[in-house]
Structure 1
Amino acid sequence: MAEERQRIRVEFAYDGGPYHGWAKQPGLPTVQAALEDALAMIIRQPIATVVAGRTDAGVHANQQVVHADIPADIWATVPRNAPLAPAPAMLRRLNGVLAKDHPGIIVHQIQEVPRVFDARFSAVRREYSYQIADGLARWNPLYRHIRWQHREELNVEHMNIGAQDLLGLHDFLSFCRPRPHSTTIRTLEELSFSRLPDGAIKARIIADAFCHNMVRALIAACVQVGAGQRPPAWLGERLAAAERTSETKLAPAHGLVLEKVSYPSCEQWAARAEQTRARRDS
């Protein structure tokens, strides 16, 4: 008889600066290793997590999501003697463990969810932001870890004009590093640039999902347009070429933040997961 398990949904934020990305790597500090080690310390056995979307080394998150399956009998003991249900007790204990060695990771919410919830495949969209301080006059040492300090001033209007040609359902092979047996077809819902009150540029990028390096490649391409190195129409031409070449550049990782992962109502979790898996398999 299979062991009964309770699936939990964990929402958390992190400063990606000290980590070599999300995914575990031998001998290197990663966000996944930090989170799973903390869970294992509490549960007293290895716990595997499934993430909504991997982030590269140095990329930050305001709202990342994972799910994990905990043996039901152990889950019931998480509160110990505290007058709390297992989920809030786990939230308190997990943050306590992380605070010792990983103060840049904060768990905001833990929920019990049915087994049909999948942090990766049930998601309907991901939203990122990216900040750029363009021109030496806008450089601020206080923001150097969260903004790309770009030497040239950028034309935001040209960046927005060119970005319009990238919206919609396309093959984004020109702007990503393909993984084996994975599709590079995505639906880009928004790619826009605006000035913040202090003059820095903030990009907003939303899609159903992103390929490896896709956001950073899109930002780098738009910056070439903003710097006058390429005309706005070049972005659409690169997209149509559907090939990764030496023209594919990457913006620095530290300016990128995963802002939000969105899910449908709980009644649609299973259907959405099946739909996403079928699209990826094809």
Structure 2
Amino acid sequence: MEDTTRLRLGIAYDGAEFSGWALQPGRRTVAAEVIRALELLFGEIGDFTVAGRTDAGVHATGQVAHVDVPSGKWEELRERLLWRLRGILPPDVRVVSAEAVDASFNARFAAQWRRYRYRVADATWGVNPLRRLDTLAWPRPLDVERMHAACRRLLGEHDFVGFCKQREGATTIRELLQYDWARDEDGTAVATVRADAFCHSMVRSLVGAALAVGDGRRDEEWLASILTIGERANDVHVVGPHGLTLVEVAYSADPADWRARVDLTRRVRTLER
């Protein structure tokens, strides 16, 4: 492959009709659609890495990926790349930004944190029809203030195995930086969850546990105790994927920090006792 340029891509998609982000034989995925479009324009492409592989049904407005493309083709296409991609990609996925970055940029390992939003409607009449694809309908009234107070107890670096579907060889230690609940202008309960990284099903489990507190089935002590059980909690409900949206992935503005962040992220995490 000729000399390459690394691009940082901003990507948005409606996850309803996708089997998640990652390539899967015989299934429609976000990665497959984006790679197909890039290859039509650039021919051969190199390393293609995403900040976070979302599950089937999960949406994104702030997904980030990097890809290595031939430098000559980039110079030809840079002024009209987004326009060309718009004409190739299906309407439920869009590349919203593209910029050349230093080769040390890594969309996955250089990320400082990811921020997700989860929307829950507890109105007696259900979900606004225009938001039915990104909002969960909940059958019981929710005490959002109680949920917010309870979730504050989960902040910090912990082993979140109680909230995760554990994968062999992967750590479940994460640093939860933000977990807030509030109602938006139309009364929908909205969770904002931000962490340096997330393990499999972690956000949807965190939301499911908070909903059990919010509708009165569980208390704050139960929620906090999940951090101490040392195994997957069988009584935590994993809510559906369609209420979840990846809204932002943050990186240092200084390229000199990217390599150090990659090294930090790749370390094997342990908790000091």
State the TM bucket, normalised to the shorter chain.
over 0.9
| Equivalent in the alignment of 1:87 | 78
Percent identity over the alignment? 41
List gaps (5 residues or longer) in structure 2.
Answer: none
2:265 aligned partner: 276
Give the ranges of 4+ consecutive aligned residues of structure 1 lying more than 4 Å apart after TM superposition. none
Which residue number corresponds to residue 60 of structure 1? 59
Q: What is the alpha-carbon distance in structure 1 between the residues aligned to residue 188 and residue 71 of structure 2? A: 49
In structure 2, the partner of 1:139 is 127
1:129 to 110, 117, 120: 117
Q: 2:268 and 2:2 mapped to 1: Cα distance?
A: 31
Number of matched residues?
Answer: 270
- Is the Cα–Cα contact under 8 Å of residues 138 and 200 in structure 1 kept in the other structure? no
Does 2:147 match 1:159?
Answer: yes
Q: What secondary structure sits across from 1:154 in the alignment?
A: coil
8 Å CA contact 2:45, 2:68 repeated in 1: no
CA-CA distance at 1:281 after TM superposition: 10
Measure the CA separation in 1 of the matches of 2:35 and 2:127.
37
**1:35 aligned residue:** 34
> What are the residue-to-residue correspondences of 1:229-244 with 2, within 5 Å?
229-244=217-232
Matches within 5 A, 1:131-280: 131-265=119-253, 266-279=255-268
1-side partners of 2:4 and 2:199: how far apart?
Answer: 31
TM-fit CA distance, 1:46: 5.2
Is 1:91–1:109's contact at 8 Å kept on the other side of the alignment?
yes
Moved more, 24-33 or 87-96: 87-96
Residues 1:114 and 2:110 are matched in the alignment: no
Aligned residue in 2 for 1:44: 43
Q: Does 1:25 align with 2:34?
A: no
Q: Deviation per CA, 1:65-96, whole angstroms, max 9, x where unpaired?
A: 000111334434xx3xxxxxx43332221222
Q: What SS does structure 1 have at the residue aligned with 2:247? A: strand
Deviation of the 1:140 alpha carbon: 2.2
Q: Is the 8 A contact 2:6 2:66 kept in 1?
A: yes
Q: Which moved more, 1:255-264 or 1:240-249?
A: 240-249
Using the alignment, how far apart are the partners of 2:224 and 2:79 within structure 1?
48
How far, CA to CA, are the matches of 2:114 and 2:233 in structure 1?
Answer: 26
Q: Unaligned 5+ residue runs, structure 1?
A: 80-85
Cα deviation 1:137-172 (Å, max 9, x = unaligned): 353222211110011111112211210111000000
Q: Kindly indicate whether the alpha-carbon contact (under 8 Å) linking 1:39 and 1:47 is maintained by their aligned counterparts in 2.
A: no
1:175-215 CA-to-partner distances (Å, cap 9, x unmatched) read 01122221111110111111122211011111111111100
**Distance in 2 of aligned mates of 1:178 and 1:74:** 42
Q: Which residue of 2 aligns with 1:103?
A: 91
Measure the CA separation in 1 of the matches of 2:181 and 2:262: 31
SS at match of 1:17: helix
SS in 2 for 1:94: helix
Report the secondary structure of 1:222's partner residue: helix
Distance 2:109 2:41 in 1: 27
For residues 38 and 170 of structure 1, do their structure 2 counterparts lie closer, same or farther at Cα, with a shift above 3 Å needed? Answer: same
The answer (yes or no) to whether the contact 2:116–2:194 under 8 Å persists in 1 is yes
Which residue identity lines up with residue 78 of structure 2 in the other structure? Answer: A
Cα-Cα RMSD: 1.8
Secondary structure of the 2:94 match is strand
Q: Distance in 2 between matches of 1:69 and 1:258?
A: 23
Task: Tell me the TM-score normalised to structure 2 length.
Answer: 0.94
